[in-house]
Amino acid sequence: MAHKPQIILASASPRREQLLREMGLRFTVLQPANVEEVHAGAAPEVLAMQNAQRKAHAVAGLHPDKLVIGADTIVVLDGTIFGKPRDRDEARRILRQLAGRQHQVITGVCLLHHRLDTELTFADSTRVWMRPLMEPQILEYLGKVNPLDKAGAYAIQERGAGIVERIQGSYSNVMGLPVERLRATLEKLGVGGPSGD
């Protein structure tokens, strides 16, 4: 890209916002409206990328001169895909299933600039081993963290670190944005450092 475009993060996730700020990028946040995430009908990586594309396209259509970043994070256990839980009961059921098991966290990312006819989409996967958890531990955890805005009903970066035993892959990917892959992709577009206003 001849000049650094303005960047929009098409997400309401405070964790993604934090990660982009830590990358030194300047951007605005605009949550896409009425984008329904799909969690069935294709391979998990494909679904995460398709959801990221839906979010990016919903915002880029209104801002064709800006580089839009859309992202979608899902948790996969034995082929079952978990997005954000609908309520605390579902969050409890998800954590019961994940407890003591290994699962994958997959984040799809879409970088889209309509005016420059540029679209790059990728997915990153991290393996996560969760500690064995008894029901009182699950209830205690849910009392400390709001699980409803988190894929798989947990967050590794806050109090959630205590329920994760170890990971293999990108830590930031589990937070919702694979910073390493994103930085490399932005550099390909000539957006490697802090963006202009």
Question: What is the rounded CA–CA span in Å between residue 68 and residue 63?
Answer: 8
Chain centroid to Cα 54, Å, comes to 14
Question: Would you call 57 helix, strand, or coil by DSSP?
Answer: helix
| Annotated active-site residue in 65, 72, 89, 197 | 72
Is 72 part of the annotated catalytic residue set? yes
What residue spans of 4-149 are helical by DSSP H? 14-22, 44-60, 88-98, 135-144
Which H helix or E strand runs over 26? none
Question: What is the rounded CA–CA span in Å between residue 71 and residue 172?
Answer: 13
Look at residues 14, 4, 55, 10 and name the one whose alpha carbon lies nearest to residue 29. 10
Question: What is the rounded CA–CA span in Å between residue 147 and residue 155?
Answer: 8
Which H helix or E strand runs over 105? strand 102-113
Distances (CA, A) of 43 to 46, 52, 107, 187: 5, 14, 13, 28
Pull the structure tokens for residue 141.
Answer: 């955890």
Name the residues annotated as catalytic: 72
